[in-house]
Amino acid sequence: GGGDGDGAGGGTDDGKITLGFSQVGAESGWRTANTKSIQDSAKQAGIDLKFSDAQQKQENQIKAIRSFIQQKVDIIAFSPVVESGWDTVLKEAKDAGIPVILTDRAVDSTDTTLYKTFIGSDFVEEGKKAGDWLVNQYTTTTDPVNIVELQGTTGSAPANDRKKGFGDVIATDPKFKIIASQTGEFTRAKGKEVMEAFLKANPDIDVLYAHNDDMGLGAIEAIEGAGKKPGTDIKIITVDAVHDGMQALADGKINFIVECSPLLGPQLMDLVQKVHAGETVEPRVITKETTFTQEQAKAVLPERQY
C-alpha cells in the first residue's frame, strides 16, 4: 500500500515504474494526438501512467503535481500550459526526491536543477520557418504585405516563441506589417471568433499566420463566411501539420504548414526509464520536424499517422 514511506514509487510493489503526467488539456488536434502517443507508449513500455488533464489551467496542473508528489510516483512529467510560475511546485517535487521531465513546453525557471530534461520542439525555429516561407513568397514586390496573427495560449512557450521566430524574420523587410495580433487560445472556436473580428476591422488582409492548425481551420470558416477564398484571397500559414490541417493544405485552403510533432510518447518513455535507472540524460531533446507545401501535403497525406 502507498503512503507508508518505504520509498517504493506509486504505492505499489509490482516493480513497475509509476509516471504521473499532467497534460495541458484537449484544446487541439495536436494535443489529442500527443495524449494518445503518451498513453499508448506508456502501455507499450509497461509503465504505470497516472494521467491528469488540466483543462488549460495552470492551477489544475499545480494541483495534479502536488497530488503526484503525495502519491509518491516515481517520475513526474508535464507539459506546462504557461512558461512562468513553476518554481515553488518544482522545488516541492525536488525536495520529495521525485525527478521531473518537461514535455513539449518549457518553463522559464532559471534553476535548471528543478528538472532532468526537456523534450520537445524548437518553437522559435518553427516561427522562423513560417517567416522564411512568407519572405520567399513576396520577393518580387515592394507593396505592403498586411499580416494578421492568431497567437496560441497567452504566456505559453509555443505562443511566445512562434511569435518571436516569425517576427524576427519578417522584421528584415518593413513591407511586412502585422496589422493585428491576438490570442485564439489554440482552439478552432476562438480562431474563428477572432478572425471574424479581424476581418471586420481590416478590409485589406493579405496573410494569416496562425500558431496552430486548429486556429487556422477556425479562421478558414470565418474567411469563407465573409465571402473570401482562404488560400487565395488570404494566404494562410499554420503550425502543427495534424490531419485536418494537412487536408486543408492539400485542398488549397492553407498555403504552408510548419510541422510540429506530437508523437513524443516513445522518446518520453525512454527518458523516464533512463532517469528512473539513474542514468544521465541529455538536458534538451529536440524533435525532428519538417515543413509542407500544398503539393507535399497531397503526397504525404495517405501515410500520416495523425
The sign of the CA dihedral 29, 34, 39, 43 is positive
Q: Indicate which single residue of 18, 109, 160, 212 sits in contact with ligand GYE (rule: CB under 6 A).
A: 212
Residue with cell 481590416: 202
Query: According to the binding rule CB under 6 A, does residue 209 interact with ligand GYE?
Result: no
Q: In sequence order, which residues have a C-beta less than 8 Å from that of residue 46 and are 6 or more positions away?
A: 16, 17
Provide, rounded to whole angstroms, the least separation between the CB of residue 182 and ligand GYE. Answer: 16
Query: According to the binding rule CB under 6 A, does residue 294 interact with ligand GYE?
Result: no
Provide, rounded to whole angstroms, the least separation between the CB of residue 84 and ligand GYE. Answer: 16
Query: According to the binding rule CB under 6 A, does residue 188 interact with ligand GYE?
Result: no
Provide, rounded to whole angstroms, the least separation between the CB of residue 81 and ligand GYE. Answer: 9
Query: According to the binding rule CB under 6 A, does residue 21 interact with ligand GYE?
Result: no
Query: According to the binding rule CB under 6 A, does residue 260 interact with ligand GYE?
Result: yes
Query: According to the binding rule CB under 6 A, does residue 240 interact with ligand GYE?
Result: yes
Stretch that binds ligand GYE, among 25-33, 222-230, 272-280, 294-302 (CB under 6 A): 25-33
Query: According to the binding rule CB under 6 A, does residue 28 interact with ligand GYE?
Result: yes
| Residues in 94-133 that interact with ligand GYE by CB under 6 A | 104-105
Query: According to the binding rule CB under 6 A, does residue 30 interact with ligand GYE?
Result: yes
> Is the Cβ of residue 105 or residue 190 nearer to ligand GYE in the bound state?
105
> Is the Cβ of residue 69 or residue 82 nearer to ligand GYE in the bound state?
82
Query: According to the binding rule CB under 6 A, does residue 255 interact with ligand GYE?
Result: no
Query: According to the binding rule CB under 6 A, does residue 292 interact with ligand GYE?
Result: no
- Contacts with ligand GYE by CB under 6 A: the residue count is 13
Residue 64 and residue 20 in contact, taking contact as beta carbons nearer than 8 Å = yes
Query: According to the binding rule CB under 6 A, does residue 41 interact with ligand GYE?
Result: no
Q: Show the CA angle centred on residue 65, arms to residues 63 and 66, nearest 5°.
A: 65
Query: According to the binding rule CB under 6 A, does residue 210 interact with ligand GYE?
Result: no
Q: In sequence order, which residues have a C-beta less than 8 Å from that of residue 252 and are 6 or more positions away?
A: 231, 232, 294
Interface with ligand GYE (CB under 6 A): 27-28, 30-31, 104-105, 158, 186, 212, 214, 239-240, 260
